Amino acid sequence: MSSPKHVAVIMDGNGRWGLKKNRTRNYGHSEGVKVVEKIIEAAVENQIKFLTLYAFSTDNWKRPNKEVKFLFHLLEKYIDNQLDKFINKNIKLNIIGNIGKFPKFLKNKLKKAQNLTKNNNKIQINIALNYGSKEEIIQSFTKLIKLSIRINERNVSDNLYTKGIPDPEILIRTGNRFRLSNFLLWQSSYTEIFFIKKLWPDFNKNDFKKIILKFKRMRRNFGGIK
CB of 11 or CB of 96, closer to ligand FPP = 11
Q: Is 60 a catalytic residue?
A: yes
Annotated catalytic residue: which of 12, 46, 126, 130? 12
For residue 60, what are the contacts with CB-CB under 8 A and spacing of at least 6? Answer: 68, 71, 130
Q: Is 94 a catalytic residue?
A: no
Cα distance between residue 16 and residue 19, in whole Å: 5
CB of 44 or CB of 74, closer to ligand FPP = 74
Q: Are 51 and 39 in contact (CB under 8 A)?
A: yes
**Amino acid letter for position 173:** R
Annotated catalytic residue: which of 22, 46, 59, 60? 60
Q: What are phi and psi of 150, to 5 degrees?
A: -55, 140
**Amino acid letter for position 111:** K
Q: Which residues bind ligand FPP (CB under 6 A)?
A: 11-16, 29, 32-33, 36, 53, 55, 60, 71, 74-75, 78, 127, 175
Shortest distance, position 95 Cβ to ligand FPP, whole Å: 10
Cα distance between residue 105 and residue 110, in whole Å: 9
Beta-bridge mates of residue 210: none
CB of 55 or CB of 113, closer to ligand FPP = 55
3-state secondary structure of 165: coil
Shortest distance, position 205 Cβ to ligand FPP, whole Å: 16
CB of 13 or CB of 132, closer to ligand FPP = 13
Shortest distance, position 110 Cβ to ligand FPP, whole Å: 11
Shortest distance, position 55 Cβ to ligand FPP, whole Å: 4
Q: Are 117 and 87 in contact (CB under 8 A)?
A: yes
Q: Which residues are catalytic?
A: 12, 60
